[in-house]
Every structure is written in C-alpha cells, then in structure tokens.
C-alpha cells in the first residue's frame, strides 16, 4: 500500500479547512426519531468521503439489511447501544465499537435499547444526502410507496435490500 497521487501541488498550504461546532443544529430530522448532522458530504470533500453524525431517539429506528455496489459504509458507536448487522449476526454494540462494510457487504443498524449516537462514514463520498432527505420526506408526508417504487428509490441511491 502506498500513498495516493498528490492532489494538492502548491508549494505552501492554504487556509481551506472547515470547522463545525459540536452544538451545530442537525441538517436533517427524520420523523422526529432521528437527527442527522452532515459533518462532511461527498460534495464538500470533493468525493473523498462523507461523514455523518447519526442520532437516534428513544423510539426504535434503523435500516434493514442491504448492501451498496459503489461505496463502503462504516459505523462507529459514540453513545448508547446500536445493534449492528454484519451480514450474518446482529450484535449489540456499545461506544467504541466499529463496523466496516466494504462494497457488496450486507449490513444494517438499529437502536433497540433507546437513544444512541454513531458516526457513519461513506467512502468514496457518495451523494447520500438526497436519499436520506427523500426518506425524511416520505416519513413527514405519510406517503406510501409500492414495492416497485421502493425498489426504484433504493436502486437510484445504490441501495440493494437483502
């Protein structure tokens, strides 16, 4: 393994870092159950990665087992208990636990034991924001999708349910 090719070639560094405070409001709320902070999006990292702070409330929420074809997804538990699925088993994970799902790896998460917070990392920086925003809109409006509509939504966002 070697370092990748240089993408910054100037002789001196520049002032281009971004900072987000811990008390910044969430960028997205999903049905009052989940708050999402877009710490870094694929757009802001020039496609290198996406990093979200995912805060789940007391009501159980989370995704069903699925996989992606174009990006990996990683989960790092910060607070509470997050039940993580590694394609074979569901494991109750505590702060400090980590799950890496490379492209094609079946995975999922849920909060079965009350409020929990985790970091979710996508590499490369897939445009996941439109997917989560569409899910939030479906929840907020109470819209019902047919099986075909769900399949189309998932495929459009590189999500393949198992």
CATH number of the domain where residue 43 is located = 2.60.120.10
For residue 85, give every residue at least 6 positions away whose Cβ sits within 8 Å of its Cβ, in sequence order, or none.
65, 91, 106, 107, 108, 109
> What mean pLDDT, rounded, does the chain reach?
96
Give, in order, the Cα–Cα distances in Å from 54 to each of 101, 104, 121, 155: 17, 22, 10, 23
Residue 19 inside a domain? The answer is no
Residue 55 inside a domain? The answer is yes
Which single residue is written with the structure tokens 């349910």?
161
Range of weakest confidence among 60-64, 95-99, 106-110, 157-161: 60-64
pLDDT digits (tens, 9 = 90+) for 56-96: 999 999 989 999 999 999 999 999 999 999 999 999 999 99
| Residue 107, pLDDT score | 98
Residue 152 inside a domain? The answer is no
Confidence category of residue 101, pLDDT binned at 50, 70, 90: very high
Residue 93 inside a domain? The answer is yes
Residue 108 inside a domain? The answer is yes
Count of the separate structural domains present in the chain: 1
pLDDT digits (tens, 9 = 90+) for 15-54: 999 999 999 999 999 998 999 999 999 999 999 999 999 9
The residue segments making up the domain with residue 116 are 36-127
Confidence category of residue 111, pLDDT binned at 50, 70, 90: very high
Residue 12 inside a domain? The answer is no
Residue 98 inside a domain? The answer is yes
| Residue 70, pLDDT score | 98
């Amino acid at each position: 393994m070697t370092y990748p090719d240089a993408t910054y070639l100037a002789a001196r560094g520049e002032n281009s870092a971004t900072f987000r405070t811990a008390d910044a409001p969430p960028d997205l709320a999903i049905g009052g159950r989940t708050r999402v902070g877009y710490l870094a999006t694929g757009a802001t990292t020039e496609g290198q990665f996406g990093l979200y702070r995912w805060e789940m409330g007391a009501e159980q929420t989370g995704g069903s087992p699925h996989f992606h074809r174009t990006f990996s997804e990683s989960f790092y538990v910060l607070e509470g208990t997050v039940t993580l699925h590694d394609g074979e088993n569901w494991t109750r994970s505590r702060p400090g636990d980590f799950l890496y799902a490379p492209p094609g790896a079946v995975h999922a998460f849920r909060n079965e034991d009350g409020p929990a917070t985790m970091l979710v990392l996508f590499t490369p920086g897939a445009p996941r924001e439109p997917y989560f925003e569409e899910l939030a809109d479906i929840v907020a409006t109470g819209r019902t999708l047919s099986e075909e509509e769900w399949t189309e939504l998932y495929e459009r966002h590189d999500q393949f349910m198992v």
